A = this chain, B = another copy of it.
Amino acid sequence: MAEPKENPLMEKIVSLCKRRGFIFQSSEIYGGINGFWDYGPLGAELKRNVKELWWNTMTRQRDDVVGLEATIIMHPHIWKASGHVDTFADMMRECPLTKKRVRADQVEEQSGTAISFVGCVSKQTLDSILVVLQPTEQDDAGRNALVKWATHIVTTESMPLEQQKALAEKIMSETKGDVKKAANVVLQMHVTQMLRDNSCREPFAVLLAAGKPPESARKIAAEFYGARGINEPILLGEQAAKVENSPDFHPESRVRLGDPRPFNLMYKTQNGPVESDENVVYLRPETAQAIFAQFKNVLDSSRVKVPFGIAQIGKAFRNEVTPRNFTFRSREFEQMELEFFIKPDEAVEAISGSVTSASQLATLDPQPNWGWEAWHKYWVEERIKFYEGIGLPRTTLVEYWQKPEELAHYARATVDILFKFPFSKRDAQGELMGEELEGIAARSDFDLSQHERFSGKPMGVFDEELRAAWGKLDDAKKAELAKRYHDARLKYFIKTGVEQAKAEKDAKEDADGLAKGQYIPHVIEPSAGVDRLILALICNAYYEDQMPDEKGKMETRVVMKFHPRVAPIKVAVLPLLKNKPDLVKKALMVRDLLRPHMNVFYDDGGAIGRRYRRQDEIGTPFCVTVDFDTLGEKPELLDTVTLRYRDDGKQDRVKISDLLPRLLEKIR
């Protein structure tokens, strides 16, 4: 809420992103679409590099993690099991006129005079009733009586059919023989029904704008009821009342808000050629659930054993109420998620005799006696190392351990890795507090257990090592471990609403299973947002410094100091002059030498100094210049080029034949 409205550094960064083709507003020529951003040529390369590095680090460079690429639209029951259908929602209040919604906890308070109505009735109806009732007496008295009647009708419940029937029978038997009386009764019923059918019973209120007459409120009310199908509404039950600091009116429309209702953040759509509630599907709000849903397929088709992980990169969608901070909180975004499945601590203890606690960790090389604490700590460290490896120093990051009251009921621990963005809030000491790049959660066996319950398909694994070890335990140990496992399972069942007797039966079965080598794996989940990481890399890379121009005069330079590993373009190859065929030919040769191994930018346009600046501004770490010495003007420099470094502008003379290994070493 308390965001600074302007942030000069962010404005510069946003502007550079557009100017240089990192990030554009989606659909800009059509006025844009809030919460959606496109990556331009350089942004697309930067993002590819980051995703490729994550994928390599997390899967290809490891024996214990495999990849997955699941669809964005999945079976809707997945989101029942995960809890998203029921609880992935913000409480919102809606303006019944404009349909605009506000977060229920974020309504700006308002004061003034509220004009309210209990409902309305259609003028046409009143007119036609007047025609029927009193063709000669369409005077105000008749009309006023009718309005009063209508007000009574819209503020009282309609009579159930059974009661109407009984009443009609009673009246008919009472008026039997008196046709006039009976006709009057029927007439009255008819008019009542007509009023009921052509009225709106929805109350409406609006705060008068300062100095405006009640007539302005009536206009707005008429618009409101008009949208409900009542043309020329006669407003009923008008009242005026003072309100002070009320959170009940929409800040823009000043119309009284509806009651708070949960607004699910998942995008919904219809799948298949049948439109029905059954065919509602969702755009995934996270990639993780697909990993759980395919856990057994992966286990059965790959040569993996617990502990092992499944990694996935992909798009996710959240219909955020207020997308903000450039690409940081977008509605369409990409995630890089790992679910790393581990043995429950009871299994580790049965096999290894004890479980290493996080504080006892002597090494960060995975060990058989690691329980969830050690694995969680391990992944926190691995992930921070990853960020350091792509150019985010530890000083720009914050390792935030969620407090017990912040944790979900199934989570054992969660660490958020924050990056200090220019738009982050500051703490009491004036330090940037940071925004979440990644969360690393120890989620117990909650997710697989949920899918087991909702799909009816077993999600457990059989662990031969555990079965063998269990047989060698003494009875006291067996009983202790079985009890701990039993109690944890029981807690899960009860917390998720399983009925007590069934929960006890299932927990006992699960504990019996443990003794036979069976369990549902626990999971550590490092879950990172690609787009926010890209934004962090861009913010972190942005520098303005002073550098001499070609005449030696100092000038301000904008430079993007991307780590060479992620830089969109690794090297620019520049012939000193464009109109010297020999220079151009040699430069093209150098380009073709490097291009199979890295992203090369060939540029022959403009003064060399200006070409350097252009590369600085897009973050190219190296420039290679082919000049007359390259062609042998100074014979000892034949086939050498100038290698210029972005960060300090220094230059080396390098043999063309040394170029590739020298650059490869820097960018890998």
Which residues of A pack against B, CB within 8 Å?
18-21, 24, 26-45, 47-48, 52, 55, 60-61, 63, 66-75, 77-78, 92, 98-101, 124, 127-128, 131-132, 135, 161, 164-165, 168-169, 172-173, 179-180, 182-184, 186-187, 189-190, 193-194, 197, 263, 267-276, 281, 283, 290, 293-294, 296-298, 301-303, 310, 312, 315, 317, 319, 321, 331-332, 451, 454-455, 457, 595-596, 599-600, 602-603, 605, 614, 668
Which residue in chain B gives the minimum CB-CB distance to A266? Answer: B269
Contacts of A270 in B (CB 8 A): 267-268, 319
Bound Cα distance A520, B446 (Å): 57
Contact B294 A40 (CB under 8 A): yes
Closest chain-B Cβ to A94's Cβ sits at a distance in Å of: 8
User: Does more than half of chain A's interface fall in helix, strand or loop, or is it mixed?
Assistant: mixed
A32's partner among B75, B173, B312 (CB-CB below 8 A) is B75
Bound Cα distance A297, B21 (Å): 7
Closest chain-B Cβ to A324's Cβ sits at a distance in Å of: 14
A selection of 10 A-B contacts at a CB cut-off of 8 Å is: A33-B73, A33-B74, A33-B271, A34-B272, A40-B301, A72-B332, A131-B165, A186-B186, A186-B187, A193-B193
Contact A67 B44 (CB under 8 A): yes
Bound Cα distance A297, B18 (Å): 8
Known: A40-B297, A99-B275. A60 touches B595 (CB 8 A): yes
Closest chain-B Cβ to A547's Cβ sits at a distance in Å of: 21
Closest 9 CB pairs of A and B: A183-B183, A21-B301, A27-B75, A41-B66, A101-B273, A190-B190, A30-B75, A39-B69, A29-B455
Contacts of A72 in B (CB 8 A): 72, 315, 332
Closest chain-B Cβ to A452's Cβ sits at a distance in Å of: 9
Bound Cα distance A70, B190 (Å): 60
Bound Cα distance A393, B269 (Å): 41
Contacts of A40 in B (CB 8 A): 68, 294, 297-298, 301-302
Contacts of A63 in B (CB 8 A): 602
Contact B455 A301 (CB under 8 A): no
Contact B268 A269 (CB under 8 A): yes
Closest chain-B Cβ to A261's Cβ sits at a distance in Å of: 11
Closest chain-B Cβ to A35's Cβ sits at a distance in Å of: 8
Closest chain-B Cβ to A205's Cβ sits at a distance in Å of: 20
Contact A69 B92 (CB under 8 A): no
Most buried by B among A263, A301, A599, A602: A301
Contact B168 A131 (CB under 8 A): yes
A44's partner among B39, B69, B99, B275 (CB-CB below 8 A) is B69
Contact B168 A24 (CB under 8 A): no
